[in-house]
Homo-oligomer: A and B are copies of this chain.
Amino acid sequence: MPLLSLREAIAGHVRDGQSIALEGFTHLIPFAAGHEIIRQGRRALHLIRMTPDLIHDQMIGMGCATQLTFSWGGNPGVGSLYRLRDAIERGWPQPLAIAEHTHAEMAVAYQAGASGLPCGLMRCYADTDLDRARGGRLARIACPFTGAALRAVPAITPDVTILHAQQVDREGNVLLRGIIGAAREAALAARCLLVTVEERVDRLAAPANAVVLPHWLISAVSVVPGGAHPSYAAGCYERDNRFYVEWDDIARQRERFQLWMQEHVLASADHAELLRRLRITA
């Protein structure tokens, strides 16, 4: 597990055209890594996330993505992601192909990927319009023992999964604490795993049964304090709920969005500078 700067980690591991899961369920969203992907100008990415939020709005609006696999794409508690909508509704800045699931389906898909299975199973009762819209992407099968109707969901196996976490120790083991969403499954499902962390410590503050990713599963770790802002890292800092509300105004118009990205994300050499510009840190 090499310890790299985030710039090196993204430059070395994320390539145009890949499928990239930046996971985090409201908590521990790898914002800094997404910004670095934008700075490095990656293109034609297939973005994967259960709950794409502001960082995905930004990557999509900046033209990094041509595909999105997701189950809920909004600004949590606020409303729309206007850049995501603009891409789907009007193809701006480019068309975005979507593969849409329910949360439970996507959880099953990640778990299948993490388990080395080509698909996972759910109960199935009736088709919704989502089932009809996506055509053959899901399949009905019958339980060979009971005959019960089941839905097979194809596994998700991202080329790269990127997570944010609280700590890395000297060996490179990573600790996640708090709401974990499908982070563990997304990590194990990936071919390449990148992690940004709040801090490097000698020994993880990891009690029995903590969520720890062993160093030998991880391709690179980058120490990026505040790397989840405006999302949060439990025990380190809170969610910047105010920023989520403000984003509603920033992202509504193309021009204001582009200007904001220019003046904040692109104008900052790295995440530390961005946090200073946003007056989040001193």
Contact = CB atoms under 8 A, between A and B. Distances in A.
A120 interface: yes
Contacts of A211: 209
A121 B123 contact: no
B121 A119 contact: yes
Interface in A124-153: 139, 141, 143-146, 148, 150, 152
A180 B210 CA distance: 12
Contacts of A119: 121, 143-146, 150
Contact of A120 (B121, B176, B234): B121
A117 interface: yes
A183 to B, nearest CB: 11
A227 to B, nearest CB: 19
Contact of A210 (B123, B150, B209): B209
Size category of the binding interface on chain A = 20 to 34
B150 A145 contact: no
A77 interface: no
A234 B208 contact: yes
A177 interface: yes
B209 A178 contact: yes
Contacts of A146: 118-119
Interface in A183-240: 207-211, 234-235
A49 B143 CA distance: 24
A154 interface: yes
Report which residue of A112, A139, A208 has the largest number of chain B beta carbons within 10 angstroms of its beta carbon: A208
Given A144-B141, A144-B152, A177 B121 contact: no
Interface string A148-190: 1010101000000000000000000000111010000000000
A92 to B, nearest CB: 32
B118 A177 contact: no
A41 interface: no
A79 interface: no
A116 interface: yes
A119 to B, nearest CB: 5
B178 A208 contact: yes
Interface of A: 112, 116-123, 139, 141, 143-146, 148, 150, 152, 154, 176-178, 180, 207-211, 234-235
Given A139-B145, A209-B210, 10 more contacts: A117-B121, A118-B143, A118-B148, A118-B150, A119-B146, A120-B121, A145-B152, A176-B209, A177-B207, A209-B209
